[in-house]
Structure 1
């Protein structure tokens, strides 16, 4: 595959391996091994896929509510960068794009990181499948939740609380 195709393959590969740390993966390109990922805890999988220094830059996040359980990692403020931060949402084991929830994360960092910068995050949502609609977009990466404003508040509050504990 050409470089565009390879980048698309790598993007999909990341989306799959980040929700299945309980599965070993190998990826080859032109007979060269690009990735060899053993079964590992989620944090280890993330740093194996991206970069070792991420390990020191991630803060653990976990909140359980009646509507949604959210777990994963957010970046420490010093992990911010102008572009290229690794930002991932997953719901019930599948990758999703969610600009509204992204704004909840970004708003929680307002005043903490320089304007226009972004931080890495890897947030995993578990919810009742009947409370989401995956048919918003043909690629099924955009997902609509019941109670989105409530979930937005949970995300913003959880990120702020995690950052508050770190900065305390």
Structure 2
């Protein structure tokens, strides 16, 4: 499987994303061919960086992600995408975010608090799971969990909204 290479859109951008995909594909295939029997997760931290690398072309990023979805489906892997929502505060990124919810098995969205700054809470996380990670239950639509977080010197604390005083 090869992404369009040097096509009419993007040229060098498409080549770069094709090379990135090829690297991901090699790692997944090598992992699967080895003695590793556990679940493999392909995680993309901050899709906005892919969009920056693609000079703002959401179409090129979506093409790349669709290839990743195909790969993870064929190899029985999970695709996890992390989104930093404060980067997508404009309407331009809304289309990409909508697609990501349908593409990835799990989407983790980090965002500032909707109420503004707080001393004991630094932001909020939304975790959208299409149900593929919960093997005990049938996959019936998406499951959403919301957490608040506080960044510490060597990590972060995560907790349910309203559970801290």
Same fold by TM (over 0.5)? no
Q: Which has the larger radius of gyration?
A: 2
Q: Using structure 2 for the length normalisation, give the TM-score.
A: 0.31
Q: Using structure 1 for the length normalisation, give the TM-score.
A: 0.30
